[in-house]
Amino acid sequence: MLLLYRASQSRGHEEVSETVKEDIGMKQHWMVRAISKTLTLIPIPFHSSRASFSSPSSSFALKNVTRSNFELSLADLRRHVRDSDFVSIDLEMTGVTSAPWRESFEFDRFDVRYLKVKDSAEKFAVVQFGVCPFRWDSTKQSFIAHPHNFYIFPRQEVGAYDPSYEFLCQTASIDFLAKYQFDFNLCVKEGISYLSRALEDAARLHLHSTHEDELSESPCTTKEIKDVPLVRMADILFVERMRNKISEWHDDLLQIRNRRSSQIPEDSNDSMNQFQTIFFRMRPAIKLNGFTSRQLRLIKSVIQKSFKDLAYIRVNGASCLEQFIVYTNSRRDLELLMKEVKGDLCKEAEMKIGAAIGFRHVIDLLSSEQKLIVGHNCFLDIAHVCRKFVGPLPSNLEEYVTLVQKNFPYIIDTKILLNASNVLQLKMKKSSTSLSKAFAILCPHIASGVSSSGLAPSSVTVEVQVDDMRSSNWNSGAKHEAGYDAFMTGCIFAQSCSHLNIDFSSHSMLMKEEKLQKYINLLYLSWSCGDIVNIKTGGTTTESSAFNTFKIQPTKILFPNIAIIWGFPSKLKAREIKESLCKVFGLTSVTSIYHLDRTAVFVQFNKSELVSDFLELKSRLEKKNDAISVFHPLSELLEGGNTRAASYEVYKEICGSPISKVLFADQAEAVGINLNTKLLENKVQENGSFANSQSPIDTKTADIKQPLKCTSGSSKFPKGEMLDIVSC
């Protein structure tokens, strides 16, 4: 899925359908192969690791991990990760963009791109997490890979209801997952839950503060719980009966203690089943069975009122709450008992929080082992990892980069590697760097499952181990399964290293390898536009397109020159908008126009002043609303009275909003209502007599742009006379 959407972000719809087609083709191919070959699963004993070298292609399933086998698998994974040279990862999510206009555009600045990725990571859920540790076995001259496929589901196990667990599903992505036979039932029922570090801290803090609260209050004085009003006859009788029963037990107990006799009061009364005499923390106690909650409340009040040396205690039993009446021989003893019970509760809650960490253990493992993390176009993946398992994402790219750096100091993106290295570009024959394409081209011996003998010397062999099964030419064929995608990514990386003449046998660590330093910690913010961020330094660059001739940037984008217009009549196309703007501001005034969706466009002017000129002219025209303005060239654009315009900064603000409407015009309106009502009122106030309905955003930009006000503007216009008429 990721692959597909990465492609879709980059090269539009043709590429998507191509990728899908290619995928389907591959699938069929695999199926045929699977049938034609005998499947030999070779179970090997634990220690004889040479058993299955150069066996025929085997296709046992990769390691699927769910709730039921998580604990065991985690223990194995710890070992594998510790021994590994690098770990590749891949994620499957429930969606990528929460609205069409949140896809990656050419006109997105670095900070806007980050906001879009942040929005995606905040809204969608991760449903599958592929982790594949790779270890170089120098005796075999081969990598050993352990592909793991974790099903995860954001089930909330502890704490008060937290809305951040709610997630969005993009219909197309869900449909896509379904196409690759994703098991949604398994995911919801058996998916591993998780708790981010931030939520864990919050839960522990909450637990301790309430615990201390309770300790600070002495157990007897503050129990001012109102008596259950005894309104019903039955209640009064019940309370009286209980009082008698308990005092009987109490007296017996004291007698026994005083006389040290062994006479045990065996009551044959069947109601005595409800009173089971036991010892609770070395103290004689009654376990209360089979009472309703109202009855229990009544019993509690009786105890508090009538028995000073008895305590009513509720604890979590094996399956449900258990209630006890416990005898304490002094007030100090009572306090001690209360403390013990509360301590237990607290410990129990701590345990629960610990157990709720779930899948985050894997992330903590990757983070603490400081292994080299390998992903394919993994900026979004890393953002998901941070959001889901660390905490809320910071509001700007710089802080985010620090956060990533702190947790994952070494990340390598195979997509960057393939595009930036000359050697690899040649090997790739300039073909698409999508995951499956790259895998097929760079690792044909793995992709097609050919036996390892007779390979080109540069081919890296990868042996796959799943539990006790091993194969040197393994292929599960389950594409778009996170575990398999992670495996492919790792293979691409291993093969790339080999092409770069990196010696795996040398004892230095891979991330310290000189030849990789050019590529390490670089991630694509947007691969299609070649925007790269360095997560070590926070620096951003745009890829020099020396090797990517197909990614030519026609003009440099100057963000201050950009205005964004939305809400215009939907029949208007970019060409017509450009024409009407050129009529006003001059033939060369508009450099480019780009549709966000059918309701909105970016307009890049050749001068930044033109943005404010345009915004001012627009609001002037709207205020006038007389016969002359109808003939103005912009009237077509303003037709309908819903056309809004703003500078680029407002676009950023809109992208940063948590709201996601499908159409940009609706989005802008929704955000505008929330943020700028007061500004609108402000403006109306100032202008007093104007009864026009000005867009809040316009007002806002007008406010911002006021100092830049360009009074000589009209003289620049070729059609100045007409403007004069309009503006006077």
Partner 1 sequence: MPPFPMLRRRFLCTQTSNLSLFNQKPVGRQWPIKQVTKSNFSDSLHELKNKISDSDFVAVSLQNTGSYSSPWHRLLPFDTAEIAYLKAKYAAERFQILQFSVCPFSVRASNKLTAYPFNFHLFPRDEHKIGMPCYSFSCQPSYLTSMAQEDFDFNVCIYDGISYLSRAQESAAKGQMENPVSSGYVAQSPSSRSVADNVFVERIKSRVGHWISACKHSDTRTNDVLVNSLRKLILGGEDYGLRPSLNIDVCSERQVQLVFEMVKSGYENVVPLIIPAKGGGAQAVRVVLTSSKEDRDLLEKELQNMEEEQSKRVRGFREVIDLISTSRKPVVAHKSLNDFTFIHSKFLAPLPSTMDEFRSSLHSVFPNILDVNHLMKEIGPLNKYTNVPAAISYLKRNFFAPIEIEIPQKASVEESKNHGHNVVRISELFAKLCFILKIAPETETHNPDGPSTLKCYSNVLNLGSNSFQDSNEDDDISAWTHNPTKISINNLLFLWGFRSGTSARRLKNLLCKSHEKLSEDVFDVRLVDKNCAVVVFWKTGLSEWFLTTIDSGDGELRELAAEGLMAVGYEAYKRVCKSEILGADLADSLAEFDREASEAHTEESAEVYWNNELMINLDDL
- By CB under 8 A, name the binding residues for partner 1: 94-95, 98-100, 125, 153-156, 160-161, 163-172, 174-175, 177-178, 183-185, 187-189, 206, 209-210, 570-571, 598, 658-660, 662, 670-671, 673-674, 677-678, 681-682, 685
Nearest CB to partner 1, comparing residues 39 and 673: 673
**3 state SS of 321:** strand
Nearest CB to partner 1, comparing residues 138 and 209: 209
Nearest CB to partner 1, comparing residues 397 and 663: 663
The CA–CA distances, whole Å, from 342 to 346, 349, 351, 522 equal: 6, 10, 14, 50
The CA–CA distances, whole Å, from 214 to 37, 114, 346, 426, 523 equal: 68, 44, 11, 69, 49
C-alpha closest to that of 169 among 157, 158, 156, 182: 182
User: Residue 469 has what DSSP assignment?
Assistant: E
- Shortest distance, CB of residue 189 to partner 1, whole angstroms? 4
Rg (alpha carbons) of the chain, rounded to whole number:
34
- Shortest distance, CB of residue 660 to partner 1, whole angstroms? 8
Overall size of the chain counted in residues: 728
Q: Would you give the end-to-end CA distance of the chain in angstroms? A: 58
- Shortest distance, CB of residue 297 to partner 1, whole angstroms? 16
Nearest CB to partner 1, comparing residues 505 and 689: 689
User: Residue 632 has what DSSP assignment?
Assistant: S
**3 state SS of 584:** helix
Nearest CB to partner 1, comparing residues 74 and 99: 99
Buried b (16+ CB within 10 A) or exposed e, 483-511: bbbbbbbbbbbbbbbbbbebebeeeeebb
Nearest CB to partner 1, comparing residues 166 and 248: 166
- Shortest distance, CB of residue 683 to partner 1, whole angstroms? 11
**3 state SS of 500:** coil
- Shortest distance, CB of residue 560 to partner 1, whole angstroms? 29
C-alpha closest to that of 334 among 221, 246, 208: 221
Nearest CB to partner 1, comparing residues 24 and 426: 24
Tokens encoding 131: 């982790």
The CA–CA distances, whole Å, from 31 to 36, 261, 290, 475, 626 equal: 9, 81, 60, 11, 70
Locus of tokens 């009788």: 237
User: Residue 473 has what DSSP assignment?
Assistant: S
Q: Which residues contact 621 (CB under 8 A, 6 or more apart)?
A: 629, 632, 634, 635, 638, 726
Nearest CB to partner 1, comparing residues 183 and 639: 183
Residue 150 pairs in a beta bridge with 65, 129
Do 698 and 615 form a contact (C-beta atoms < 8 A)? yes
d(Cα 106, Cα 334) in Å, to the nearest integer?
71
Nearest CB to partner 1, comparing residues 174 and 710: 174
- Shortest distance, CB of residue 96 to partner 1, whole angstroms? 10
Do 130 and 487 form a contact (C-beta atoms < 8 A)? yes
Do 93 and 117 form a contact (C-beta atoms < 8 A)? no
- Shortest distance, CB of residue 304 to partner 1, whole angstroms? 17
- Shortest distance, CB of residue 593 to partner 1, whole angstroms? 16
Nearest CB to partner 1, comparing residues 191 and 490: 191
In one-letter notation, the amino acid at residue 313 is I
- Shortest distance, CB of residue 151 to partner 1, whole angstroms? 13
Tokens encoding 325: 């009446």
Nearest CB to partner 1, comparing residues 42 and 675: 675
Q: CA 375, 376, 380, 382: dihedral to nearest 10 degrees? A: 10
- Shortest distance, CB of residue 663 to partner 1, whole angstroms? 10
- Shortest distance, CB of residue 154 to partner 1, whole angstroms? 5
- Shortest distance, CB of residue 575 to partner 1, whole angstroms? 13
Nearest CB to partner 1, comparing residues 98 and 561: 98
